[in-house]
Amino acid sequence: MEKEQTLNIDELKEENGKNKRKLVCSFCPSVILIAGDGLYTEIEFALPTMTKQKGSDEVVEDQLSRYWRVANMYDFHNVGFSNTVDRNGQKKYLTCAECDMGPIGFFDTETKLSYVALARVKHEQ
């Protein structure tokens, strides 16, 4: 998996901040988001390490800050939403709908905005 610090942001985003390449699951060929539907955003959010999202007790978290913000959840091609995960019931994790790996990002139920971590997906032409 790519380390967030080593990502070449200029190669991944257009001048207007949109994703230049499509986002693909790191574990299967499933397309998460096509090019141009995400907006580069820096926001601090800790995601648990990637596992199958099935009754895992995993509590190790990565503090991540580089995300693609997706305004319309229907822009996603293959993405699953977990049950709410924070105390206020406002956040859901995003997972690959095909292979169940995640979280690849999070969904804010209040703002209806989704955030996909750059470090949790592959960027393909």
Residues near Zn ion (CB under 5 A): 25, 27-28, 30, 96, 98-99
Q: How far is the CB of 118 from Zn ion (least distance, A)?
A: 16
The angle subtended at Cα 50 by Cα 47 and Cα 56, nearest 5°, is 95
Q: Which is nearer to Zn ion, 65 or 122 (CB)?
A: 122
Structure tokens at 1: 């998996």
Q: How far is the CB of 107 from Zn ion (least distance, A)?
A: 17
**DSSP per residue over the chain, as a string?**
---GGG--HHHHB-TTSBBSSEEEESSSS-EEE-TTS-EEEEEEEEEEPPEESSS-----EEEEEEEEEES-GGG-SS-EEEEE-STTS-EEEEE-TTT-EE-SEEEETTTTEEEEEGGGEEEE-
Q: Which is nearer to Zn ion, 27 or 45 (CB)?
A: 27
Q: Which is nearer to Zn ion, 21 or 65 (CB)?
A: 21
Q: How far is the CB of 24 from Zn ion (least distance, A)?
A: 8
Q: How far is the CB of 30 from Zn ion (least distance, A)?
A: 4
Q: Which is nearer to Zn ion, 23 or 96 (CB)?
A: 96
